[in-house]
């Protein structure tokens, strides 16, 4: 396994695989089960699946669908979307999910992180935050479900999540999402310099050099969406993933 992970990130809306641009205008991609089967064949090390409609529509996880994901998935699966209680997390783990990703529930009730990590271990809990730059150049947390900024300092919330037991942090750049024009390197660098757990950075990957730049900036792993599901200038749907040797050569010599 590579020292630095490159993780396909699948967005689910109403049971369908979609992809957004700057967290808006979800485009239908296809059947998520089919995508998982393709990534199985490409020997992906880890998969991240996020349901982007559950929290916004106040729904609990679709356990039947997630069970299908876990059954089909040959690699470790991290799932996020609509998780707000320890019982829900327990159900997901029992279905075969290895990690859960929590965002809104953490902001509303930070102790949910310690409840889950104390029972299942910190390695099973990923805390996610969506970050967006303001008109004045600052960075704030963006509440996707309510489409507004939060006043809390994003780095303080990251550090508090770690204190409560988060084993990994996922930072999504709203401004870079889906554009395939490069990652928010400044955010990745600042976060990695101030936290003690693995950092997953997502948003903006359009080529292998973008992945390398994110790792060099301090990310432990890169979450990739559009680059692995679109091909060519017209963004035709084509699910791909680099060969292991290609990634090994790309990331060779990075010491962070």
Active site residues: 130
d(CA 155, CA 188): 11
Question: Left (φ > 0), alpha (ψ -120 to 50) or beta: where does 35 sit?
Answer: alpha
Residues 6+ apart with CB under 8 A from 42: 240, 241
Element (H, E) at 162: helix 154-164
Residue 177 burial by Cβ neighbours in a 10 Å radius (0-12, 13-18, 19+)? buried
List b or e across 196-206, with b for residues whose CB sees 16 or more CB atoms inside 10 angstroms. ebbbbbbbbbb
- What are the backbone angles phi and psi of residue 100, rounded to the nearest 5°? -120, 145
Joined tokens for residue 119: 């029972």
């Amino acid at each position: 396994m590579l020292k630095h992970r490159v993780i396909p990130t699948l967005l689910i809306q109403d049971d369908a695989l979609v992809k957004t641009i700057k967290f808006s205008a979800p485009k239908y991609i296809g059947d998520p089960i089919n995508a998982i089967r393709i990534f199985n064949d490409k020997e992906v090390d880890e998969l991240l699946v996020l349901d982007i409609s559950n929290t916004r529509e106040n729904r609990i996880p679709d356990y039947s669908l997630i069970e299908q994901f876990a059954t089909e998935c040959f690699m470790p699966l991290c799932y996020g979307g609509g998780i707000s209680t320890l019982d829900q997390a327990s159900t997901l783990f029992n279905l075969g999910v290895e990690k859960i990703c929590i965002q809104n529930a953490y902001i509303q009730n930070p102790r949910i992180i310690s409840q889950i990590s104390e029972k299942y271990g910190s390695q099973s809990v990923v805390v996610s935050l969506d970050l967006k730059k303001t008109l004045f150049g600052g960075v704030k947390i963006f509440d996707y479900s309510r489409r507004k900024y939060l006043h809390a300092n994003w780095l303080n919330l990251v550090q508090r999540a770690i204190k409560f037991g988060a084993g990994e942090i996922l930072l999504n750049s709203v401004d870079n999402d889906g554009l395939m024009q490069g990652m928010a390197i400044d955010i990745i660098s600042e976060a990695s310099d101030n936290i003690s757990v693995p950092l997953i950075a997502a948003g903006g990957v359009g080529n292998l050099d973008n992945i390398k730049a994110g790792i060099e900036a301090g990310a432990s792993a890169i979450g990739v969406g559009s680059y692995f599901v679109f091909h060519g200038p017209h963004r035709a749907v084509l699910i791909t993933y680099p060969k292991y040797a290609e990634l090994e050569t790309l990331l060779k010599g990075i010491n962070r």
